[in-house]
Amino acid sequence: MQTRPAVARLLEWQVAMGADEAIGENPRDRFMPAAAAKANPPPRSAPTSGAANVRPGAAMPPPAPAPQSALLASARQLADSAGNLAELRSIVESFDGCSLRKTATHTVFSDGNPDAPLMLIGEAPGADEDRIGRPFVGRSGQLLDRMLAAIGVVRGKNAYISNILFWRPPGNRKPTAEETALCLPFVWRHIALARPKLVVLCGGTATAALLGRSEGITRLRGRWFELPVPGLPEPLPATAIYHPSFLLRAPANKVESWRDMLSIQTKLVKLQ
C-alpha cells in the first residue's frame, strides 16, 4: 500500500479547513529571497475605476452625491411639506427611503392625545409595537403607563407618545446612525406640529439623537434642557428618563426614575 506524501495530506487538510483559494490579487513566490522580491515586485493590476481615463494634469470630476445624502434631502423636503399630523403620518407611511420599512409589519407613528401638553419620544418599535402598530404597547409600554399614572398622566388624555424610528429594527437591535438620520426630519416635524409644552426623551438613543449630546443617559437623566425645534418660535423644555425596557432589566433604577417623574409632574403644573 502506497502512503500519500505528507505535503498532499497537508493540502487536503487545508482544503477541508476552508483554505481553498489564494489570498491576494497577484501570485507571490514565498521561496524567493527578500532582496530579490523587492527588486522584482509583482506587476500591479490595472485600475478598474474611471480614474485611469483621466488625462495627466486634468482635474478630477467631482464625486457623485452619496445616495444617503439624496435620501436625507428627500426626507427633509417631505417632512417640511406636511401641514398637519394627518399629512405627516401619511407621508411617513409611504416613505420608502429607510430600509427598515421593508422588514417591518407596520409603520408605528404615534399613540395618545396629539393635543396633550406632554410628548414622550422613545427609541424604536419592538415586536409587540410592530405587530399592533402603536408605540409602547408591550411590557415596557405597560410600565410606562404605570409610571405616568403615578403622576396623574393618562396616555389617551394628556400624553402623546412616539419614537425616533417609525419601524422596528430586525431583532430589536440598536438603530444605526443612517436609520436615525433618515427618520429625524420627520421626528422634528412631528414635534413642531404637535406643539407640546414639554418633551420627555425615553432612553439614551432618543436622548442622544435629539439633544445632540455625547453624555450617557445616566448623566443626562433628571436634568432639564432647552430643545430647539425647527418651526417653533421658542425652544421646548425637555428632560430624559431611563427607558422602561431598561427598568425592567434593572429595577433598582426605579428609585431614580421616580424622582424624574416627580420632576416632570412639577414642570407640568408650572406650565399649565
Q: What is the DSSP string of 61-89?
A: PPPPPPHHHHHHHHHHHHHHH--SHHHHH
Q: Would you say residue 18 has pLDDT above 80?
A: no
Quick one: pLDDT at residue 11? 67
Q: What is the mean pLDDT of residues 252-269?
A: 97
Quick one: pLDDT at residue 35? 55
In a domain, 20, yes or no: no
Strands 224-227 and 236-241: what pairing? antiparallel
Percent of the chain whose pLDDT exceeds 90: 73
Q: What is the mean pLDDT of residues 169-187?
A: 95
DSSP letter at 163?
Answer: E
N-to-C CA span, the chain: 96
- The pLDDT-based confidence of 49 (bands split at 50, 70, 90) is very low
In a domain, 7, yes or no: no
Which positions ≥6 away from 245 have C-beta within 8 Å? 126, 139, 140, 203
Span of 54-58, 229-233, 248-252 with lowest mean pLDDT: 54-58
In a domain, 28, yes or no: no
Pick 26 or 141 by higher pLDDT. Answer: 141
Pick 197 or 3 by higher pLDDT. Answer: 197
Q: Residues, the chain, total?
A: 272
In a domain, 8, yes or no: no
Q: Would you say residue 55 has pLDDT above 70?
A: no
Burial of residue 158 (CB within 10 Å: 0-12, 13-18, 19+) is: middle
As for how many domains the chain has, the answer is: 1
Residue 19: CB atoms within 10 A of its CB come to: 11
- The pLDDT-based confidence of 53 (bands split at 50, 70, 90) is very low
Q: What is the mean pLDDT of residues 175-185?
A: 95
- The pLDDT-based confidence of 46 (bands split at 50, 70, 90) is very low
Q: What is the pLDDT of residues 90-133, one digit of tens each?
A: 999 999 999 999 999 999 999 999 999 999 999 999 999 999 99
Q: Would you say residue 224 has pLDDT above 70?
A: yes
Pick 220 or 39 by higher pLDDT. Answer: 220
- The pLDDT-based confidence of 40 (bands split at 50, 70, 90) is low
Q: What is the mean pLDDT of residues 160-185?
A: 95
In a domain, 163, yes or no: yes
Q: What is the mean pLDDT of residues 202-218?
A: 95
In a domain, 82, yes or no: yes
E strands in 172-261: 198-202, 224-227, 236-241
Contact 202, 120 (CB under 8 A): yes
Q: Give the torsion sign (CA, 122, 125, 129, 133).
A: positive
Q: Would you say residue 41 has pLDDT above 80?
A: no
Q: What is the mean pLDDT of residues 232-251?
A: 97
The C-alpha atoms of residue 236 and residue 160 are separated, in whole angstroms, by: 15
Q: Would you say residue 58 has pLDDT above 80?
A: no
What's the domain range around 133?
68-271
- The pLDDT-based confidence of 69 (bands split at 50, 70, 90) is confident
Contact 161, 170 (CB under 8 A): no
DSSP letter at 51?
Answer: G
Q: Would you say residue 15 has pLDDT above 50?
A: yes
Q: Whole-structure pTM over 0.95, yes or no? A: no
Quick one: pLDDT at residue 143? 97
CATH number of the structural domain spanning residue 89: 3.40.470.10
